[in-house]
């Protein structure tokens, strides 16, 4: 509600430029994308550290399944 009010105050005609459904969709999509990016970064960080799982004697498909 606060975001909708803020968008309405900066618009030219006093109405919010996007609906609440659109705002919820964009927020959810952005959260999902950022979550995926952090997951990929975590896997890449695990790949360079000591005690790497899936490299020596374990399944060679560790990074694909991760």
Q: From 32, 52, 50, select the one nearest 66 (Cα to Cα).
A: 52
- Residue spans of the domains in the chain: they are 1-48
Global pTM exceeds 0.85: no
Give 12-53 pLDDT, tens digit per residue. Answer: 777 767 777 887 888 899 999 999 999 888 878 777 766 665
């Amino acid at each position: 509600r606060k975001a909708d009010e803020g968008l309405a105050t900066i618009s030219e005609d006093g109405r919010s430029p996007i609906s609440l459904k659109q705002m919820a969709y964009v927020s959810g999509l952005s959260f999902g994308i950022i979550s995926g990016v952090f997951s990929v970064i975590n896997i890449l960080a695990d790949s360079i550290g000591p005690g790497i799982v899936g490299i020596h004697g374990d399944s060679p498909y560790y990074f694909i399944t991760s």
